[in-house]
Copies of this chain bind each other. A is one copy, B any other.
Amino acid sequence: MIHGGDIYTEGVFKGKELIDYSSNINPLGVPKTFLSNINEAVKNLEIYPDVSYRKINKSIENYLKIKNMGIVLGNGASEIIELSVSLFKRILIVVPSYIEYEINARRHNVDIIYSYLNSDMDIDYKDIMSKFKEVEAIIIGNPNNPNGGIINKDKFKYILNFAEKNKKTIIIDEAFVEFTGNTNFSFTQEAEQYNCLFIIRAMTKFFAMPGIRFGYGITKNKEIINKIKEKQNPWNINCFAEIAAIKCLSDKKYIEESLLWIKSARGNFINGLQDISFIEKVFYPHANFVLIKLKKITGETLYELLLQEGFVIRRAKNFKGLDDSFVRFAIKDDRLNESFIKVLKGVEGKI
C-alpha cells in the first residue's frame, strides 16, 4: 500500500478493529450540519447534478472570501492534483511530499525535477529558485505532507514574483491548511493578485470526510481553469458531496471547535512524544500529523509492534528522500493520543 488509511487489509477484513494513526482526519468527525441536511442530497439522487455546480462555487467563494476567481471541482483533491499536474511538460516537485504528485506527473509523461527539503525538513528556497527556469511549474504542499511544514511567505516572495513575471505556474496543495489555525498561512489571498498561483483545497481532512471525495482548485488564471475543465467529465461531483460542500464550508461552529482542538491536541501530543526514547527527532508540524525520525528501531518493526496493539501508523519510507527510519503519526483527540503515547512507551521495553 502506498498510502495511509488502509485499515481494510489488516483490519476490517480480518475482523479486527484498528485505530488509524496513518490517515489524518479531524477527530471531531463529520460535521453535524451535513448529517442533518442529508435529505437534501437524497432528494437530488434522481436528477443530474447542475453541470456547472453553481451552488458549490458560491459556497467556496464565501468560505475563502474570494471573488471573481476561477474554480474547478474534483472527485477528491486527487482529481485536481492530476489535472493540474498534467498541464505541464516539466515540473518541479518539492520532496518528500504527497506521492500522488509524482505518480500523476509520470502518468502524464511530465518530466520531473526534484527539490529536496533539507535535513530539518525546511524548504530550500535557493534550490527551487535555481531550478525554476528549467520547468514550467512547481508543486508544493502548504503545509507539506509528511512533515507538516509551511511556506515562509517572505522567503517565497522572490519565487512568486519570478513565476508571475515569467508566466510559470505554482501549484500549492493546501489540503491541510485549515489545521495551521491561521488563514494567513494560506495563499488564497495572494491567488487573487497572482496569475501564476493555483491553489488546491480539500474537504477530506479538515471536515473529516475522506469518504465523500471532494476537493477543488482556485486561480484567477482563466486559461488554467479552461484547460482543466476541458479535461473533466460532466457531473464529477455526486449529490452527497455537493450537499456536504455547501453545508460544511459554512459551518462556523465546527470550524471554530476544530481549531480549538488542533491547537491544544497538537501541543500536548508533541510534548508526549518528546519522552519516547526511540524517537530521534519530532519535526514540529503546522498540520494534524507529525513526522518522526526514529532511532534504535526501524519503521517496519515499529509498525508491526503497534499493529499488535491495534494501532496503524504510516511508514514514511516510500516518501522520496526518506528511509525506514521515518514514520508519520496522525494527531487525534487527547484521550486517544494519550493511549497512543502509552503504547509507544510500552514499545520502549521491547527494543
User: Beta-carbon contacts of A8-28 to B below 8 Å, as 1s and 0s?
Assistant: 100011000000100101000
Residues of chain B contacted by A5 (CB below 8 angstroms): 47-48, 51
Q: Which of A223-237 contact B (CB under 8 A)?
A: 230-231, 233-237
Does A252 sit at the interface, judged by CB under 8 A? no
Q: Within the assembled complex, what's the spacing in Å between the Cα atoms of A79 and B235?
A: 10
Within the complex, which residue of B44, B211, B230 is in contact with A48, where a contact is CB–CB below 8 Å?
B211
Chain B's closest residue to A4 (CB) is B48
- The stretch from A34-42, A189-197, A278-286, A289-297 touching chain B is A34-42
Does A49 sit at the interface, judged by CB under 8 A? yes
Residues of chain B contacted by A230 (CB below 8 angstroms): 107
| B48–A208 touching, CB < 8 Å | no
The minimal Cβ–Cβ distance linking A52 to chain B, given in whole angstroms, is 8
Residues of chain B contacted by A236 (CB below 8 angstroms): 75-76, 78, 213
| A212–B238 touching, CB < 8 Å | yes
Q: Within the assembled complex, what's the spacing in Å between the Cα atoms of A54 and B230?
A: 32
Q: Within the assembled complex, what's the spacing in Å between the Cα atoms of A6 and B75?
A: 20
Chain B's closest residue to A244 (CB) is B45
Also in contact, A46 and B107, with CB within 8 A (given A213-B235, A235-B78): no
| A233–B46 touching, CB < 8 Å | no
Question: What 12 additional pairs, Cβ within 8 angstroms, besides A5-B47, A100-B233?
Answer: A6-B48, A6-B50, A7-B47, A8-B51, A25-B47, A46-B211, A75-B233, A75-B236, A78-B233, A78-B235, A213-B235, A238-B241
Does A351 sit at the interface, judged by CB under 8 A? no
Does A30 sit at the interface, judged by CB under 8 A? yes
Does A210 sit at the interface, judged by CB under 8 A? yes
Does A29 sit at the interface, judged by CB under 8 A? yes
What are the nearest 3 A-B pairs in CB distance?
A211-B239, A5-B48, A78-B233
Q: Within the assembled complex, what's the spacing in Å between the Cα atoms of A31 and B100?
A: 36
Does A209 sit at the interface, judged by CB under 8 A? yes
Q: Within the assembled complex, what's the spacing in Å between the Cα atoms of A314 and B233?
A: 20
Within the complex, which residue of B3, B46, B82, B213 is in contact with A208, where a contact is CB–CB below 8 Å?
B46
16 of the cross-chain contacts (CB-CB < 8 Å) are A7-B47, A7-B48, A23-B47, A41-B240, A46-B209, A46-B210, A48-B210, A75-B75, A75-B233, A76-B235, A78-B235, A100-B234, A211-B239, A211-B240, A213-B236, A213-B238
The minimal Cβ–Cβ distance linking A310 to chain B, given in whole angstroms, is 15
| B75–A46 touching, CB < 8 Å | no
Residues of chain B contacted by A241 (CB below 8 angstroms): 238
The minimal Cβ–Cβ distance linking A37 to chain B, given in whole angstroms, is 12
Q: Within the assembled complex, what's the spacing in Å between the Cα atoms of A12 and B8?
A: 41
Q: Within the assembled complex, what's the spacing in Å between the Cα atoms of A139 and B237?
A: 26
